Structure 1
């Protein structure tokens, strides 16, 4: 039986939208380390249409919370063989 869950997550651990909002409200996410709001929305759109997204929050490839990772400039989409955040992928 294939397990489609993130390797690091237990069944009893769920990150909710309030927790994500609290993290995104921290000063780090209002700095030059973050992408613009429009790029963030583009990245999130790519994540929401990805077959490797679980529960609307977790990337099954790397285990990150996409709403947080997509905000950071230095991060890249971990989709195997393709960066779904690249300009070519979202056009």
Structure 2
């Protein structure tokens, strides 16, 4: 059984990933044609709005474990974006059927 992830929970993870409490993080989705930069609050709101549309979310423990792996990965850029897929890691880690896109293999397999 999967449970919904609250906006407060997402915000807590965003706070964890923001560098030195900075309110602004350079975030560009590599698949976005706009090549925008997003502030941490704006990215959190985007992730929350998209997760609200998802019918099935991963368990909180799974999300936390995945994000811990991402935070230690050298392919994490701007504290929020995966260099391999261009996703906000908070979004990708919250979806139960997603995997880590690292070219050397799925780093989430043990989660």
TM above 0.5: yes
Contact 1:20 1:68 in 2 (8 A): no
Instruction: Select 1:57's aligned residue among 74, 80, 83.
Output: 80
Residue 45 of structure 1, CA deviation: 0.4
**C-alpha separation in 2, matches of 1:46 and 1:36:** 16
Residue 7 of structure 1, CA deviation: 4.5
Cα root mean square deviation, aligned: 2.5
Unaligned 5+ residue runs, structure 2? Answer: 1-27
The count of corresponding residues between Structure 1 and Structure 2 is 81
Contact 1:20 1:67 in 2 (8 A): no
Structure 1 outlier segments of 4+, above 3 Å: 5-10, 23-26
Q: Deviations over 1:8-55 (max 9, x none)?
A: 469x722222223323434235x4x11011110000000000011101
What is the DSSP-based 3-state SS (H/G/I as helix, E as strand, rest coil) of the residue aligned with 1:81?
Answer: coil
Taking structure 1 as the reference length, the TM-score comes to 0.72
2:69 matched residue in structure 1: 46
Taking structure 2 as the reference length, the TM-score comes to 0.60
